[in-house]
Structure 1
Amino acid sequence: MGILGDIGHFIMVPLYYVISAVLLAWHWFFGLFLDPEGGLSWALSIIGLTLVIRAALIPLFVKQIKSSRNMQLIQPKVRELQKKYGHDRQKLAEETMKLYKDAGTNPFASCLPILLQMPIFFALFRMISQATKTDTSHGFLTVAKAHEFGDSLIFDRLPIKGTFWMDRVWAPGGGDALVMIVAAVLVLAMTATTFTTQRQLMAKNMPADALSGPYAQQQKMLLYILPVAFGLGGVAFPIGVLLYWTTSNLWTMGQQFYVIRNNPAPGTPAFKAKQDRDKAKAAKHPEKYASYEPVADTAVIEEAERRPAKRQQPSRQSRAQRKSGKPGTGSKPNQGGTK
């Protein structure tokens, strides 16, 4: 099998058991009021599986948001390092990594949830593919259940294993046209949600300073590359897998919308919008928000703190004050005492 095959087997086998356990639990639940052998119960089970997985990844999503926000806020410092050490690439790399470490972030943290989902995605893909082609069972999915899963039809017409490029008529009265239409809709939904999620982040939750430089260029490339990659690859995925990925994207889009709206990064359009909403609430319900003070933009505060403080000039004194020698006036006290 080889070392790569052994590593893949070591990773995939536990995933088969976890995925199949969650999938069968949802299938049992939906089987209480739907046809257990029908495709609808299996399709809803895939959606339920997706929700469980995404809920489990919430801590990683929070970490991703914090890391991405820190990356945005340190972009001006990154550009300063590039100007200072542009002639020395090794020194620039060392200082940049030191800056990332001090800020508690790295440029790859935003990809972590996607990377962690890929093994789950491939495990589900193999479960559906092998269940349909060879009745192969994985994890807690028995051979009988694998056969039932693979051959199930949603609404008695749409095969859960159908793909956009399928070359067989699976259901009476249905056929390839229906499968192609549904698969195309799901692929478009998958690409549209991917694009919208990334665009939402760049348009509303990135400071103006972060919209230029290498990090911004990387984000702009991902804005177009990821939807195209998912769109091209999606035409080969079974409908069951497309259901998983589209549901996952919808979760990501909604989750990110909630975070941007309620906890935006400082110095961004979303932060300004939240300040305006808070002020409007305080004006509309003054008795409820009597002690309300708008949250200051920390980006402005940090900029003010970086500026050198103005030197306090001594106040001018009259001639009589200088002669009196009173404490606190800036002149020496009368050494001779009061006559």
Structure 2
Amino acid sequence: MDIFAFPPLAALLDAAYGALAGLATFFEPAAGAAALAVVVVTLIIRTLLIPVGISQARAEQTRARLAPRLRALQKRHGKNPERLQLETLQLYRDENTSPFAGFLPVLLQAPVVGLLYTLFLRAEIAGHPNDLLAHDLFGAPLGTSLVHMLTAGPFSLQTFAVFGGLLAIMAVTTEITRRVFRPTPVDDSPMSSPGMLRMMSALHYATVVFALFVPLAAALYLTVTVIWTLIQRIILRRRYPLPV
């Protein structure tokens, strides 16, 4: 089932196409005009999401401040999981925060990545040819994914090199983020178990893995996003430091 056959979503896709194509035309005849348009769109979206990042930093600061009280709850109700869960949720509720506050930026960006994925995947948009597929970045087509090129061909050294560069940038940025912003462990908490900590550490690289399967335009969006996120978190950590 094609969800973009639904008229409102089809109109949204066509509007997104018109905006991105118009922006690419504005940057012509610069090389990689459409890729530059994707970068500009990413920066606009991330700018609009700055209030969400501030809210996330505040929530992270609050969770760190609550860590001693969470440890006390673990000691008090460790043998009663249901009571522990209720008391933990009530503590977060009293502090007007949530243990899942950090997922909001990811959820808000999902529709944008979905639109970019679709825009550089379809040969036609709303019945007219998709001219965005004719654009490239350093010779790598914006509508090609690395996995598709390696499995279905044809192989392109330019595409492989461009994807390799973007993936390397994402991996390095992700590793810096993982090392600098390690979660504060809570004694005896299931979230602080070795297995859970390893899983949370691996989840940092989910974006890098995801970028293997999406068109180059979407991978470019993800690359700019992880760089922006790291810089923003460093700035906001100074503004909202965690308690020692």
Q: Match for 1:159: what amino acid?
A: P
Q: Give 1:240's aligned residue.
A: 217
Q: Match for 1:29: what amino acid?
A: F
CA contact 2:74–2:188 (8 Å) conserved in 1: no
Q: Give 2:62's aligned residue.
A: 70
Cα shift readout 1:24-62 (whole Å, capped 9, x = no counterpart): 45324313xx25xx6x00000000111111111111111
- The residue correspondences of 1:119-138 to structure 2 (distance < 5 A) are 119-130=111-122, 135-137=123-125
3-state DSSP of counterpart to 1:241 = helix
- Change in CA separation of 1:88 and 1:104 when aligned onto 2, cut-off 3 Å: same
Q: Specify which of 138, 145, 149 is matched with residue 163 of structure 1.
A: 145
Q: Give 2:102's aligned residue.
A: 110
CA contact 2:170–2:226 (8 Å) conserved in 1: yes
Q: Specify which of 160, 165, 175 is matched with residue 185 of structure 1.
A: 165
Rounded Cα–Cα distance in structure 1 between residues aligned with 2:167 and 2:125: 27
Name whichever structure is richer in helix by fraction. 2
Establish whether residue 23 from structure 1 lines up as the match of residue 20 from structure 2. yes
3-state DSSP of counterpart to 2:225 = helix
Rounded Cα–Cα distance in structure 1 between residues aligned with 2:43 and 2:16: 12
Q: Give 2:89's aligned residue.
A: 97
Rounded Cα–Cα distance in structure 1 between residues aligned with 2:7 and 2:199: 34
- Change in CA separation of 1:216 and 1:62 when aligned onto 2, cut-off 3 Å: farther
CA contact 1:164–1:180 (8 Å) conserved in 2: yes
Bigger relative CO (Cα 8 Å, ≥ 6 apart): 2
Q: Match for 2:173: what amino acid?
A: T
- Change in CA separation of 1:136 and 1:254 when aligned onto 2, cut-off 3 Å: same
CA contact 1:22–1:49 (8 Å) conserved in 2: no
Cα shift readout 1:211-240 (whole Å, capped 9, x = no counterpart): 87444555653222230x333332222211
3-state DSSP of counterpart to 1:129 = coil
Rounded Cα–Cα distance in structure 1 between residues aligned with 2:26 and 2:4: 34
3-state DSSP of counterpart to 2:120 = helix
- Change in CA separation of 1:56 and 1:185 when aligned onto 2, cut-off 3 Å: same
CA contact 1:12–1:119 (8 Å) conserved in 2: no
- Change in CA separation of 1:84 and 1:6 when aligned onto 2, cut-off 3 Å: same
3-state DSSP of counterpart to 2:124 = coil
**More off after superposition, 11-20 vs 103-112:** 11-20
Q: Give 2:202's aligned residue.
A: 224
Runs of 5+ unmatched residues, structure 1 = 170-174, 268-339
Q: Give 2:134's aligned residue.
A: 151
Q: Match for 1:115: what amino acid?
A: L
The structural deviation recorded for 1:111 is 1.0
- The residue correspondences of 1:323-334 to structure 2 (distance < 5 A) are none
Rounded Cα–Cα distance in structure 1 between residues aligned with 2:7 and 2:54: 28
The structural deviation recorded for 1:18 is 6.0
- Change in CA separation of 1:59 and 1:22 when aligned onto 2, cut-off 3 Å: farther
Counting aligned pairs with the same residue, the percent is: 26
Cα shift readout 1:154-202 (whole Å, capped 9, x = no counterpart): 34x2222232231445xxxxx6122112112212222332332232222
3-state DSSP of counterpart to 1:105 = coil
- Change in CA separation of 1:8 and 1:214 when aligned onto 2, cut-off 3 Å: farther
Instruction: Specify the structure having the higher radius of gyration (Cα).
Output: 1
- Change in CA separation of 1:178 and 1:98 when aligned onto 2, cut-off 3 Å: same
CA contact 1:199–1:223 (8 Å) conserved in 2: no
CA contact 1:128–1:149 (8 Å) conserved in 2: yes
Q: Give 1:82's aligned residue.
A: 74
Rounded Cα–Cα distance in structure 1 between residues aligned with 2:73 and 2:51: 32
Rounded Cα–Cα distance in structure 2 between residues aligned with 1:20 and 1:7: 13
Establish whether residue 253 from structure 1 lines up as the match of residue 230 from structure 2. yes
3-state DSSP of counterpart to 1:74 = helix
The structural deviation recorded for 1:255 is 0.6
- Change in CA separation of 1:17 and 1:58 when aligned onto 2, cut-off 3 Å: farther
Query: Could you tell me the TM-score, scaled by structure 2's length?
Result: 0.84
Query: Could you tell me the TM-score, scaled by structure 1's length?
Result: 0.62
